[in-house]
Amino acid sequence: MTEHLRLMAVHAHPDDESSKGAATMAKYVAEGADVLVVTCTGGERGSVLNPKLQGDPEIEKNIHEVRTREMDRAREILGVRQEWLGFVDSGLPEGDPLPPLPEGCFALQDVDEAAEPLVRLIRSFRPQVITTYDENGGYPHPDHIMTHRISMVAFEAAGDPERYPDAGEPWQPSKLYYNQGFNRPRTVALHEALLARGLESPYGEWLERWEQISRKDRELTTFVPCGEHFETRDRALLAHATQIDPDGGWFRVPLSVQREVWPTEEYELAKSVVETTLPESDLFAGVRDNG
């Protein structure tokens, strides 16, 4: 039933695919869909976030190769295909004032030019559904924001024979979603459930920060049931050993609590050329019936 379904997940760095929508991808893979992760950069400027691996000179010297191997392992765990767009990580500027972005990095590319390799992949893979980030990047990392920009251009251009005429036969994806897994309703529900069970919650500071932010919550349109694949998601995350602390906050909420309280991953439907009814429980809603 799902052999003809194809999902493309566009991400900024290796590890993003495992922290955003990984259980959803594992679910669709298990059902027979074809899933392709597109990774825009190599994560070359990412810091080693796992304290157990910090200070290792070999890792720091060869961080690009290390993160490539981590991506290979995560891909195998999730059962997805994966392609690199080949752009260079922009890093996350810090300080006041913020320093300029490094020359040649992903975030400084011309958007229309940077969208061309993504258009080429869309036309060759022919996904009905694409997931990416919203205009804020999910969080304001320059590479996440640039990923949003090229995804929007590519979604519109891939089906237009007048645009990027040398990038393959036109293909129009049916739907485009923003990942919204880090949302307030989910966080509040898990936080309250942990406290009710007498357990420590890792979300207290998150919620305090959200209270100080005036930005309106995003609209959650699509809730994909995928609780049975949370363990696969976590194994894929752990494959990114330089980025994920196995004793960190990612893993402090028991899977049993997650499955009972919030067994879905959430998305915001941004564009659709097929009819669908909101809220949805399936990224391919409106696609399956069209053959």
Binding residues for Zn(2+): 13, 16, 144
What span, in angstroms and rounded, lies between the C-alpha atoms of 58 and 66?
9
Token output for 279: 């809220």
- Is residue 217 helix, strand or coil? coil
Q: Name the residue among 130, 126, 123 with its Cα closest to residue 24.
A: 130
Alpha helices in the chain (DSSP H): 16-19, 22-30, 57-61, 63-78, 111-125, 142-157, 184-196, 204-212, 230-239, 255-261
3-class DSSP assignment, residue 248? coil
Burial zone of 263 (CB within 10 Å; 0-12 exposed, 13-18 middle, 19+ buried): middle
How many CB atoms lie under 10 A from the CB of residue 165?
A: 9
**Tell me, what amino acid is at 225?**
P
Q: How far apart are CA 151 and CA 135, in angstroms?
A: 10
Can you tell me the distance from the alpha carbon of 15 to that of 27, in angstroms, rounded to the nearest whole number?
Answer: 18
- Which parts are annotated binding residues? 13, 16, 144
Enumerate the β-bridge partners of residue 129: 7, 175
d(CA 266, CA 2): 21
